[in-house]
Structure 1
């Protein structure tokens, strides 16, 4: 890498996941991510789609060329209750911007995308329960079973969730514009507030983003959720459905990182079945 955006590179600091902080000769510092061209295209389309909602902040896309994505650098900061409140309201606005259908990719984004290092299919479906079972729960369950990391009773409990999704899903909602991989590591706290990075954007259920925020902990999460609920009231019973929405990212972790997450996925499945 000798030039980026047509400018000479002065220094490069790896950030992990194929990304690096790159200093340019014109004084700018940007983030450069190198990877599979299809994955790069999906991420760029997702960032632009989320930005178009005019609500939750995301880094600006500066260039997409083949397997390289260049975005603006997010300045470092610290989480605060005020920023968390603003994030809750902004996330509600992003979700409300909507999507063409459940499972729909961002405009211009490929149907075959990724969540982290795992493949993720984006294909429109008429209803959330049908889509969540067919494209989010069962494919990762099959992969984990084939690898031997999910077996026996745990696999059967997760299959039962997929079978009962129409009863477990709660009130019907329109497709939301999801970040899609909203764990706490993808929330950067800048001096200007929270900025969302590394999306796996698609049309989905808004409770999924909120459940993922809770999965691995998020600073000031109660404040985020309270502000969200005030801006866009959540349907009755949403807290009971958190394990249902966490099942997908947990299955992704089983596929990517092995059986250590299998017990968590099975526990989420049991909790979802009890809540229903």
Structure 2
């Protein structure tokens, strides 16, 4: 189907790829990403399909995917409403409860254009330490965006992860990059896009929504709690789950996010 997509309008660039509005041979509109990004589009397509298999959340249909192009259903955006936010809260709870076979995923992981290890780990603290925190600490150190004492502070958190992580939970089916920009609001319902999907901890998605501020976050959380209550102490663990996205931002954008990262690490050690 990719060869039959007509590119209608340039929508700019995002990270290492170009964005277009396209049109399928039957006239349906499509959203097209293109670029020389190796396995990234394959990973995104696999994540969208996996989240969709939960039958809990709305995601765009994957029309076609290759190494250098991803063709998705066009989503016409609308306004965020409290009603749609409440619906999203319940849907996220059901998506998480659909579960995963392990912490990790059977496809290569990416967040933005950065590779993200997805090899399974037996526990969430081990997965978070070895697949999410330490790889990005090394990347940030190599780029000169973290200092040795910054890394030492983060290592303190890692060493205490088994006690900081809260009660053990089974792997949840998570979006993995659920900041507010990856939630498209349509009339009556939210659609999730650009996942870094994997089996992880459900608090990670909710902490990501809070990190940069989601519309009607209180309504999302209220509905989530009604459907699938979080375990005691979840509020105190929000900074722990925000360490990885903040590390990613340090790797991508540098000094502007270093202070927020170190502040979150310090709050983790106060638990």
Change (3 A) 1:274 1:65: same
Superposed displacement of residue 192, structure 1: 3.7
- 1:148-167 equivalences under 5 Å are 148-167=144-163
Tell me the TM-score normalized by structure 1.
0.93
Superposed displacement of residue 6, structure 1: 5.0
Contact conserved, 1:117 with 1:256, CA < 8 A, in 2? no
- 1:167-246 equivalences under 5 Å are 167-246=163-242
Provide Cα deviations, 1:202-242, integer angstroms capped at 9, x if missing partner.
Answer: 11000000000111110000110111011000000000000
Secondary structure of the corresponding residue to residue 251 of structure 1: helix
Alignment correspondent of 1:131: 127
Runs of 4+ in structure 1 off by over 4 angstroms are none
- CA distance in 1 between counterparts of 2:265 and 2:68 reads 37
- CA distance in 2 between counterparts of 1:37 and 1:22 reads 22
Contact conserved, 2:40 with 2:67, CA < 8 A, in 1? no
Superposed displacement of residue 5, structure 1: 4.4
Tell me the TM-score normalized by structure 2.
0.94
- Select which of 10, 14, 22 maps to 1:13: 10
- Select which of 137, 142, 151 maps to 1:141: 137
Alignment correspondent of 1:87: 88
- CA distance in 2 between counterparts of 1:40 and 1:87 reads 25
Unaligned runs of 5+ in 1: none
- CA distance in 1 between counterparts of 2:200 and 2:7 reads 41
Alignment correspondent of 1:78: 79
Question: What number of residue pairs does the alignment pair up?
Answer: 267
Unaligned runs of 5+ in 2: none
Provide Cα deviations, 1:232-263, integer angstroms capped at 9, x if missing partner.
Answer: 00000000000000000000111111121111
Secondary structure of the corresponding residue to residue 39 of structure 2: helix
Alignment correspondent of 1:46: 47
Aligned-residue CA RMSD in angstroms?
1.5
Provide Cα deviations, 1:158-207, integer angstroms capped at 9, x if missing partner.
Answer: 11011110010000000000101100000000114100000010110000
